[in-house]
């Protein structure tokens, strides 16, 4: 007879559920057809990171994490989406509400095939991370495996989508995966370092926003297909 | 203290509860859906009146259809009434016939019923019935892996594949409810149920648009009592699937722990109340989303597959 897998307990289970939801948000980005929805999903994913930070802070008594959760929420849930929308106002089609730029159908593969591919990549991330034997400090170790999957799936998103907006947001959500990993292995990292990293992200957002605007201004589309013509 | 019921009677009650309440649950969903759309909607008891009317009508079979066409609705209905013997409908403890089959066994019986209806649809040589049957089988092949992964999750969590064991595990502690594998498997199963019961985003349940039909198109050529049996059968299948989701995965509370008549009666009321709540959720989804295009249904299935696979992954990592 097979032995049942023991339940991990309420804190670990809850933290893992949130980690898995972060991964599912990453998968959800494959489906979004509008820039606005993509940004919203990124907001939701970032909000989940903050929620997880608060849970870990409360359960493990690490007060620094409350501050980190607040700063991260202020930056990733409020500032970055606002900034992106402001920067990408020019890409809105005439008459459509803000963020209505169509980024659908930019994938190289069908959606169902991409999801299957991403599942394989995520499985690789899951199991390779669990082989590393890293000891978790604060959050459950499964969350580390999930974070590696988030990073890898974000890579798939960036490779798969042929529009600049998804590629940029794929990169930002990749940073979310790294934040998740940081929560697991280095929850007690000095706060100043974490905040510095977050402001690095802000810089990346501004640079990417300007690049997208530039690209859209020249090519009149979000697609990177036109860039191939630049080759020698 | 109320009198204890004999075990075979409880077993009979499981079947009767499903068979008699199923059209009512469909009626509740139709009513709620209509109210959400600002219509008055049909009476809750309307499905019963429909069945009674159909049972009084004469039955016709298309020319050239063999006995399979007429036998299939009866056989399918029998299958649907067999499954409630295997799953925890009213009791927390396994009834004697409950160990005839595990989760896979119940799944096989449900697929057998769906296969028989598809064969009957092929007998008719009517294009729409065949279209519906062929689509139903195609998409069933895609949702099948999801069901398998849900069963794997149950197997890994409990060490068995008996639905009673999972229900008992879920009741045992809060840690069991919040573990990611359980949440993901329940969500995946819910998506499969939306597909199997022909709800939005897969299919419009009440529409008359033949091209979008899957499940609903199959009994096009049946009439009279045979059509009534098919309608009743699909309502029973819906309640069976709801019961599996509710009493095995999401909320296995309110089941009778003894054979007392009062406890069993309470369990019937609790099951129907929980099924109505689930029905309201389904009706809300019906009203909040658009139907997917036929070729987008694979995307819906791949999302359910993703949930189920992640559930098994987290279990293997030891954190599920």
Residues A67-97 pLDDT 10s: 889 999 999 999 999 988 887 777 777 666 6
- Residue A211: which domain range? 11-224
Measure CA A15 to chain center: 17
Query: Is residue A3 in a domain?
Result: no
- Quickly tell me which residue has 């897998």 as its tokens: A5
Average pLDDT over residues A187-216: 84
Average pLDDT over residues A177-205: 84
Confidence (pLDDT) at B83: 93
Contact between chains at A8 and B301 (C-beta distance less than 8 A): no
For an interface test with A, which of B142, B180, B305 has the most A Cβ atoms less than 10 Å from its Cβ?
B180
Contact between chains at A31 and B299 (C-beta distance less than 8 A): yes
Contact between chains at B299 and A23 (C-beta distance less than 8 A): no
Interchain CB contact of A112 with B (< 8 Å) = yes
Confidence (pLDDT) at A32: 83
**Confidence band for A25, pLDDT divided at 50, 70 and 90:** very high
Q: What ipTM goes with this model?
A: 0.85
Q: Indicate if the pLDDT at residue A122 is higher than 90.
A: yes
Cis amide linkage into residue B112, ω under 30° from 0:
no
Confidence (pLDDT) at A232: 57
Tokens representing A171 are: 């990169």
Higher model confidence: residue A129 or residue B68?
A: B68
Confidence (pLDDT) at A230: 62
> Where would I find the H helices in A34-132?
35-60, 64-72, 80-87, 111-131
Proportion of chain B above pLDDT 70, given as a percent: 97
**Residue among A4, A20, A145 whose CB faces B184 most closely:** A20
Q: Chain B partners of A122 at a C-beta cutoff of 8 Å? A: 310, 313
Number of domains present in the structure of chain A: 1
Contact between chains at A5 and B320 (C-beta distance less than 8 A): yes
Residues A141-172 pLDDT 10s: 788 889 999 999 999 999 888 888 888 899 99
**Residue among B176, B298, B314 whose CB faces A142 most closely:** B314
Contact between chains at A141 and B319 (C-beta distance less than 8 A): yes
For an interface test with B, which of A3, A4, A24, A149 has the most B Cβ atoms less than 10 Å from its Cβ?
A4
Contact between chains at B310 and A23 (C-beta distance less than 8 A): yes
**Confidence band for A174, pLDDT divided at 50, 70 and 90:** very high
The minimum CA-CA distance between A138 and chain B, rounded to whole Å, is 14
Average pLDDT over residues B209-223: 80
Confidence (pLDDT) at B208: 63
Q: Indicate if the pLDDT at residue B318 is higher than 70.
A: no
Nearest CA among A95, A99, A123, A135 for reference residue A27: A123
**Rounded Cα–Cα distance for residues A92 and A86 (Å):** 11
The least confident of A2-11, A75-84, B102-111 is A2-11
Average pLDDT over residues B253-265: 89
Interchain CB contact of A230 with B (< 8 Å) = no
Q: Indicate if the pLDDT at residue B89 is higher than 50.
A: yes
Contact between chains at B299 and A126 (C-beta distance less than 8 A): no
Interchain CB contact of A122 with B (< 8 Å) = yes
| pLDDT mean across residues, chain A | 84
Q: Indicate if the pLDDT at residue A207 is higher than 50.
A: yes
Confidence (pLDDT) at A99: 65
The minimum CA-CA distance between B9 and chain A, rounded to whole Å, is 32
Confidence (pLDDT) at A134: 76
**Rounded Cα–Cα distance for residues B187 and A6 (Å):** 21
Interchain CB contact of B161 with A (< 8 Å) = no
Interchain CB contact of B178 with A (< 8 Å) = yes
Average pLDDT over residues A197-211: 88
Contact between chains at A115 and B303 (C-beta distance less than 8 A): yes
Interchain CB contact of A123 with B (< 8 Å) = yes
Q: Chain A partners of B175 at a C-beta cutoff of 8 Å? A: 7-10, 13
Q: Indicate if the pLDDT at residue A100 is higher than 90.
A: no
Contact between chains at B314 and A122 (C-beta distance less than 8 A): no
Confidence (pLDDT) at B95: 85
Residues B132-141 pLDDT 10s: 899 999 999 9
**Confidence band for B234, pLDDT divided at 50, 70 and 90:** very high
Q: Domain limits of chain B?
A: 7-316
Residues B36-66 pLDDT 10s: 999 999 999 999 999 999 999 999 888 888 8
**Confidence band for A104, pLDDT divided at 50, 70 and 90:** low
Note the pTM of the prediction, 2 decimals. Answer: 0.91
Higher model confidence: residue B234 or residue A137?
A: B234
* Residue of chain B nearest A6, judged by CA positions: B157
* Residue of chain A nearest B180, judged by CA positions: A17
Average pLDDT over residues A97-124: 78
Higher model confidence: residue B96 or residue B270?
A: B270
Confidence (pLDDT) at A105: 57
Interchain CB contact of A116 with B (< 8 Å) = yes
**Confidence band for A1, pLDDT divided at 50, 70 and 90:** very low
Query: Is residue A132 in a domain?
Result: yes
Interchain CB contact of B315 with A (< 8 Å) = yes
Higher model confidence: residue B229 or residue A89?
A: B229
| pLDDT mean across residues, chain B | 90
**Confidence band for A231, pLDDT divided at 50, 70 and 90:** low
Q: Indicate if the pLDDT at residue B211 is higher than 80.
A: no
Confidence (pLDDT) at B207: 64
Interchain CB contact of A219 with B (< 8 Å) = no
Confidence (pLDDT) at A49: 93
Residues B156-181 pLDDT 10s: 888 888 888 888 888 888 888 888 89
Average pLDDT over residues B14-30: 95
Average pLDDT over residues A122-127: 89
Higher model confidence: residue A121 or residue B213?
A: A121
Confidence (pLDDT) at B241: 95
Confidence (pLDDT) at A126: 86
Interchain CB contact of B304 with A (< 8 Å) = no
Average pLDDT over residues A102-109: 65
For an interface test with A, which of B152, B168, B178, B181 has the most A Cβ atoms less than 10 Å from its Cβ?
B178
Query: Is residue A229 in a domain?
Result: no
């Amino acid at each position: 007879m097979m032995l049942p897998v023991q339940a991990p307990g309420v804190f670990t289970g809850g933290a893992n559920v949130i980690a898995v939801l972060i991964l599912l948000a990453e998968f959800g980005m494959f489906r979004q057809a509008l820039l606005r929805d993509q940004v919203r999903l990124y907001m939701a994913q970032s909000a989940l990171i903050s929620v997880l930070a608060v849970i870990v802070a409360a359960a493990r008594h690490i007060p620094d994490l409350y501050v980190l959760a607040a700063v991260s929420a202020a930056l990733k849930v409020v500032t970055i989406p606002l900034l992106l929308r402001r920067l990408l106002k020019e890409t809105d089609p005439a008459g459509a509400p803000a963020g209505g730029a169509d980024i659908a159908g930019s994938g190289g593969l069908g959606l169902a095939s991409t999801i299957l591919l991403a599942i394989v990549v995520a499985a690789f991330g899951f199991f390779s991370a669990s082989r590393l034997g890293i000891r978790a400090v604060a959050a459950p170790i499964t969350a580390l495996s999930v974070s590696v999957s988030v990073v890898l799936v974000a890579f798939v998103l960036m490779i798969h989508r042929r529009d600049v907006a998804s590629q940029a947001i794929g990169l930002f959500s990749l940073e979310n995966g790294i934040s998740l990993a940081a929560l697991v292995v280095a929850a007690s990292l000095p706060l100043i370092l974490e905040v510095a990293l977050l402001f690095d992200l802000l810089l990346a957002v501004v640079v990417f926003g300007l690049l997208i605007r530039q690209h859209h201004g020249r090519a009149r589309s979000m697609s990177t297909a036109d860039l191939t013509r630049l080759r020698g | 203290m109320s009198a204890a019921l004999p075990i075979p009677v409880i077993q009979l009650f499981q079947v009767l509860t499903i068979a008699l309440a199923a059209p009512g649950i469909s009626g509740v969903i139709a009513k709620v859906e209509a109210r959400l759309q600002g219509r008055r909607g049909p009476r809750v008891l309307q499905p019963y009146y429909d069945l009674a009317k159909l049972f009084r009508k004469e039955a016709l079979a298309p020319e050239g259809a063999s006995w399979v066409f007429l036998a299939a609705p009866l056989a399918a209905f029998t299958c649907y009434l067999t499954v409630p013997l295997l799953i925890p409908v009213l009791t927390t403890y396994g009834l004697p016939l409950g160990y005839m089959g595990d989760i896979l066994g119940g799944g096989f019986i449900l697929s057998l019923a769906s296969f028989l209806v598809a064969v009957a649809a092929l007998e008719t040589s009517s294009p729409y019935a065949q279209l519906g049957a062929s689509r139903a089988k195609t998409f069933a092949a895609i949702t099948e892996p999801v069901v398998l992964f849900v069963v794997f999750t149950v197997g890994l969590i409990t060490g068995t594949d008996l639905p009673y064991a999972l229900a008992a595990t879920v009741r045992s502690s809060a840690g069991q409810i919040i573990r990611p594998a359980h949440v993901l498997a329940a969500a995946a199963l819910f998506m499969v149920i939306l597909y199997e019961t022909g709800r939005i985003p897969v299919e419009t349940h009440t529409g008359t648009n033949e091209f979008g039909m899957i499940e609903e198109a199959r009994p096009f050529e049946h009439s009279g009592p045979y059509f009534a049996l098919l309608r009743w059968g699909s309502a029973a299948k819906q309640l069976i699937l709801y019961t599996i989701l509710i009493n095995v995965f999401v909320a296995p509370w309110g089941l009778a722990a003894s054979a007392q008549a009062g406890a069993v009666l309470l369990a019937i009321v609790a099951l129907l109340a929980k099924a109505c709540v689930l029905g309201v959720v389904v009706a809300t989804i019906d009203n909040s989303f658009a139907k997917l295009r036929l070729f987008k249904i694979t995307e819906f299935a791949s999302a359910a597959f993703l949930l189920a696979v992640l559930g098994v992954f987290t279990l293997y990592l030891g954190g599920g």
